[in-house]
Every structure is written in structure tokens, then in C-alpha cells.
A and B are shown apart, each in its own frame.
Chain A
Amino acid sequence: MSSDSQEPLLQVRNLRAVYDSARGPVHALNGVSFTVSPGEVLALVGESGSGKSATALSIMALIQRTSGRVTGGEVRLGGRDLLTLDERGRRAVRGSEIALVFQNPMTTLNPTRTIGAQLREVLRRHLPLDRKAADARALELLEMVEIPDARDRLKSYPHQLSGGLRQRVMIALALSCDPKLVIADEATTALDVTTQAQILRLMRRLTTESGTAMVVITHNMGVVAGLADRVAVMYAGRIVEIGEVRDIFRAPRHPYTAGLLAAIPRMDTERSKDLVTIEGRPPSLLDPKPGCPFVERCWLAMDKCAVQAPEPINPQTHSAACWADPELVRQGPRPLSPELTTTGAKELS
């Protein structure tokens, strides 16, 4: 492993995964590539089914536990390819080098065991601690995530804690073994808005203090703006655009990103005006068609788009997988006209 800060911590290259369903394999990930540098916060955004969680589970090599499997690609963490490690090696990485914070804190803690027991178990799995030392460390962790009456809480069962407190416990659990990377999969979606903000601030502060990198999976653009350094936009199992947060907010290069940004309601939006939406639905992932997956919903679609997939993104810079002129994308979404979608015509301006 290199201590050079330029070297990415996590390198995901051309990751492919499928979920087996009754109607055949669902192609959940179709060549996902991105990098995360040490200490960096990368946001992974996209709508439901775009492959955000599949990406997280594939990186953890846990996707096979949810009836899916990785079919190709690389996940390099500090030089090692996690996908070629044996199960024993992967277990040593999980929870200790990469930790996952799940979406729903109500269901991710075992209801029949105390908070303390569940923290201690993970601590002792990865660190050479005896019971007493593990107890002390567990207490420290609960105090670190600002849980009141931490000592009593160690003996509490999950149902005795509120959702916000439980998610704090999950964060303590994730940070317990000083991981290099934390993947937060919709970590605040299940919480109410005020609690969301508190949890996000806490995560940001703790990871900044410890220099831990984060992959934040969300469909909330507010979370992206407030938390992330870079953002990767996912669509139909691909990353369609990646770049610095401010670059992407200022000048999106993929029509889908432009559509997402236009859909955010603003304080100065007139109440009577309808919110902007992206027409249509994502394509079926059962049998992916050649060409750009966004073609049917794109107001800039050209003949070429339907037959030839655009060049994949370059994870190092601000780039998008799109054939259209970036200047036209930047001007924002236009309504689709039926005759345009069928003929696949060109510029509108």
C-alpha cells in the first residue's frame, strides 16, 4: 500500500453484477467505474434501481447474500482486488477496512441482543481486545457519536432507542475499527428531517477528524451539496456522469443530471408552477439494449444514441457518458416531443 495521497484508496473498475430473478438475470451493474481518494467524500446518486445499493454490496462482496452476483470488474482497495480475495480475506476487510452503514436503523440491529454486545462482538472480531477493553472502547464509541447516558445505553436493547439514536449506534459500529472507507447506503433516508441533518453533520465531522473516506449513497441532492466533495450520477447500472460537486451543479454534462438538477424545487419557485420531472421510466435491466440507456427519455437524443453506447466516463475528471454537445445539456431540459423521440432527432435550440 502506498502512503501517497494521490493514489486512490478505492478503485472500482468496470464492475458488473446481476441479480437472479424468476424472469432471468437482471443486469444491475453494467460497467461501473469510479475512484475514491483517502479522506474524500463521494456521493453516489440516482433513482431507485439505478444500482447504488448493488454497487455498495458488490464492493463489500456481499451481493451474493441478496441473490445477486458479481460478473466482472475489479474492486481495488489499496492495491488488493477484493473480488479475487478468498472469503476469509474478505471477512477480514469487512467491518475493519470498509464499513457499511445501512439505510434502516430499525432493522439492522439484532432486536434480541444489547447494543453493547453487538458493538463488543465487532470490536473483538477485528481488534485484539479482551472483554473489559472492548467494553471500554464501546463506551468511548457511544460517547463519540453523542449518545446521552452512553453507559446505560450499552445495556439497552435496540427497541429501547429512537431511530436517530439507533443510527448513531450504527455509525459507532461502522467507525469502531477505524475503517479507511465508510459506505453510507441511504443512511439518513429513514429518519425525520431534523434528525437527518444531525446525523449528516455527525458523520461529516467524525470522518473529517479521522480522515476516513466516504461513499454516500443518496437520492437527495441536498445531501450531495452539503456533504460530498465529488458526485457520481448513476443510471441503469452505469455511472453516467462524475465530477466535483460544484462543477456538476454549475454545469451538468449529462442530460439525466441536468434533469435531476432541474427537478429540485427551489425556495423561489412559484407555488402555482408544476415541478419539473423527467418524463418516462428507466429501461428494463432484464435485457439491456445497445446504445445509451437514457435515449428514450432524452430531449437531445440523436440517431446514434439508440445504437451506439457513449464512451464510459473517466473517473479522474469531470466527465459524462453522452454524445450530446455539453453546451446544449447545460441549457437545461426541454419537453420531449413525440415525433422527436421516435425519429431520434437532434438539436432543439
Chain B
Amino acid sequence: MTWYVLKRGGAALIVMFVVSLLTFIVTRVLFPDPAQSILGGQGETVTPEQVAHLRGQLGLDRPLSVQYFHWLGDLLQGNLGRSFRTPIDVSTAIYQRLPVTIELMVLALTVAIILGMLLGIAGALFRGRIIDGVSSTVSVLALSLPNFFVAILLIYVFALKLQVLPSAGWVPLTQDIGQNLKFMLLPAVTLSLAYIGTFARYARALMIGVLSEDYVLRAHASGLSPRSVIVRHAMKNTSIPMVTVVGLNAAGLVGGAVVTESIFSLPGLGTLFTDSILGKDFPMLQGLILVITIGVVVLNLLVDLAYGLLDPRIKVS
């Protein structure tokens, strides 16, 4: 197991290094001349001298490789640079908004895993019957509705008509949990919906596969009750590949979170991201891309480790 953790961790480190390089290159391709962008954005006439001066200040006149290692060095000390738009450290801005996005993703993922697994397993257990039909219809519907449409629908029903939930805004979790969850509920449901559908489809297919395994028939032949066969034999063996499914989809969750946050005006990484793109705030973008990508890499590492814990066959290999 230790060797397994080291191997996975090492691989993750290499990925992170590549990610930092790519982030650097991509932002430079998007903003070939940040100094021009910054000064041009202020709406005044800019002289070439001013641009050259700012380039020198920002170190943009040095070779790209030097700039990269300079940036990487700062990065390792936790310094992501300063925003071009507002007088704030990139790391501070991200640190302030990270909890909102994490909470949104954790809530959405939890809801999606629980409901998706229940829906899919119910479909598999009652395969070919009415429950299966309902489960399949609901999950296909859930995964095919676009999430901005669902958001608008939910806002219309719960915020405008019923007036039970707010349509926008946010209260910190630490300040008032009840209020916080009230603001988070609609965004979390919106974000989770597509994943409920996806997880239900996977869970159904995996469960059907497991139910046709010899060891399930053997468990029945040993006289075990259907409940213990399902819980102790089928569910465990279904949940192992589900970990991978959840891990792979969690990466895409970030994209969904960006859209969802914008619709519900949640002050998370998503809104920061859209604001930074519109404001051509390249240090902020660089930092955001880096943090999000590393987040996904760490998530995948956790999935691999969870896999190792759940599946005894991994330990020896």
C-alpha cells in the first residue's frame, strides 16, 4: 500500500509540474502583451514609452523561460502575484472564494452520488419492470437537461412563485449554517442534476453486471437473504468502479460550478473566473487555472487511494 501511495503521489507531482508549464504557456498565448492590455484597458492614449516602462516593471521584457522559472519560484512560496484589476493578491482572492466553490461541489457531488446510486440500483434490481422504466426516464432526463435551463426553472418555481428559497446571494457557512444552506440548495441541486443522471446510468449498468456474477448466484445458493446478497456482495462490488466514475466526473464538475455560480451570483471561483476573463486579468487567470487543475489532480489522487482501500486486489500489485 505504501508503495502504491508513493507511486500515485509521484505521478501526481509530475502532472502538477506539467500543469504549471501549460498554464504559463496558455495564458501567454491568450495575452501576448499584458502590459498593452493593462494600459489599453484604462481608456487613455498610451505612449510606447509607458508600455515599455510597465514591461520592465513586470519583468515582461525578459526571456519567457526566465519568466517561467521566476513565476514557478514565487509559486512554490505560495505567491501567485497580484491582480491587474483590483489591488489584491491572487492567492488571497482565491483563498477567500475557494470555500464557496468547494462547498457547492461537495454538496452537489454528495447529492448526486446518493440519489444517482439509489436510482441506478433500484433500476437494476427491478430490471425490466416499471421501477426500472421510471428510473431510466428520470436519469436520462436529468442528464440531458442543460444546467442553465434547470437553474432558471428552479428559480422560477422556488424563488418567484413559491418564494421559499432565495434566487441569488450568499451567507458564509461559519456565520449561519441554516441561511448558508438555504442559499446553497438551488445551486447544489442545479449542479447535481446532470450527475445524478450520469451516476444512475453507470450504477445500473454496473449493478446488472455484478448481479450476473457467479459469486452472487453462489451467495443465493448458500441461502443468504436477498438483502444480504445485495448489501454485502453486490453493493460493495458495484461501488468500487463507481469510485472511478465519480472521480472522472468530478473533474467536469468545476465547469458546471462556474456556470452555476454565475447564475446564482455565488461569490466563488466561478464568478472570479468569468470576471477575470472579461477583465483580462491574466495573473488571476493563471492562478485560477493552476489551482483548479491541481484540485482536479489531487481529487484523482484521492480516487486512486480510495480505490486501493476498497479493492483488496490493488494492494498486492
Residues of A within 8 A of B (CB): 60, 62, 65-66, 91-96, 99-100, 102, 104, 107-114, 121-122, 125-126, 157, 159-160, 170, 173
State the CA gap A213–B84 with chains docked (Å): 85
A107-B215, A157-B313 as given contacts; A112 in contact with B236, CB under 8 Å = yes
Contact B220 A112 (CB under 8 A): no
Please name the 3 residue pairs, one residue from A and one from B, whose CB atoms are nearest each other, closest first.
Answer: A95-B223, A95-B222, A94-B223
Which of B187-224 touch A at CB < 8 Å?
Answer: 213-215, 217-224
> Can you report 25 residue pairs joining A to B where beta carbons are below 8 Å apart?
A60-B221, A65-B217, A65-B220, A66-B217, A91-B223, A91-B224, A95-B223, A100-B221, A102-B214, A102-B221, A107-B213, A108-B215, A108-B218, A111-B215, A111-B313, A112-B236, A112-B237, A112-B310, A113-B236, A114-B312, A121-B222, A121-B232, A125-B224, A157-B312, A159-B312
Q: Does B182 contact A (CB under 8 A)?
A: no
State the CA gap A91–B224 with chains docked (Å): 7
Number of contacting residues on B, CB 8 A? 23
- Smallest Cβ-Cβ distance to A100: which chain B residue: B221
Most buried by A among B219, B222, B233, B236: B222
State the CA gap A66–B217 with chains docked (Å): 9
- Smallest Cβ-Cβ distance to B214: which chain A residue: A107
For the complex formed, measure the closest distance between the CB of A122 and the CB atoms of chain B, giving whole angstroms.
Answer: 4
A104-B214, A110-B237 as given contacts; A159 in contact with B313, CB under 8 Å = yes
Contact B312 A112 (CB under 8 A): yes
A108-B214, A108-B215, A157-B313 as given contacts; A94 in contact with B240, CB under 8 Å = no
Residues of B within 8 A of A (CB): 213-215, 217-225, 228, 232-233, 236-237, 240, 310-313, 316
For the complex formed, measure the closest distance between the CB of A112 and the CB atoms of chain B, giving whole angstroms.
Answer: 5
A-B contact count (CB 8 A): 80
Contact A112 B311 (CB under 8 A): yes
Other-chain residue from A94, A113, A114, A157 in contact with B220 (beta carbon distance below 8 A): A94
For the complex formed, measure the closest distance between the CB of B175 and the CB atoms of chain A, giving whole angstroms.
Answer: 43
Contact B240 A112 (CB under 8 A): yes
State the CA gap A126–B228 with chains docked (Å): 14
Contact A125 B221 (CB under 8 A): no
Other-chain residue from B225, B232, B310 in contact with A91 (beta carbon distance below 8 A): B225
For the complex formed, measure the closest distance between the CB of A231 and the CB atoms of chain B, giving whole angstroms.
Answer: 24
A62-B217, A104-B214, A121-B232 as given contacts; A111 in contact with B312, CB under 8 Å = yes
State the CA gap A109–B220 with chains docked (Å): 12
Contacts of A104 in B (CB 8 A): 214
Contact A109 B215 (CB under 8 A): yes
Contacts of A60 in B (CB 8 A): 221
- Smallest Cβ-Cβ distance to B315: which chain A residue: A157
A113-B236, A159-B313 as given contacts; A125 in contact with B214, CB under 8 Å = no
State the CA gap A94–B310 with chains docked (Å): 30
For the complex formed, measure the closest distance between the CB of B207 and the CB atoms of chain A, giving whole angstroms.
Answer: 15
State the CA gap A159–B310 with chains docked (Å): 15
Other-chain residue from A65, A102, A111, A125 in contact with B223 (beta carbon distance below 8 A): A125
State the CA gap A102–B223 with chains docked (Å): 15
Contacts of A91 in B (CB 8 A): 223-225
State the CA gap A122–B228 with chains docked (Å): 11
- Smallest Cβ-Cβ distance to B313: which chain A residue: A159
State the CA gap A312–B260 with chains docked (Å): 73
Contact A122 B222 (CB under 8 A): yes
Contact A94 B222 (CB under 8 A): yes
A111-B312, A112-B310, A157-B312 as given contacts; A125 in contact with B215, CB under 8 Å = no
State the CA gap A95–B313 with chains docked (Å): 27
Most buried by A among B220, B221, B240: B221
Contact A113 B218 (CB under 8 A): no
State the CA gap A92–B224 with chains docked (Å): 9
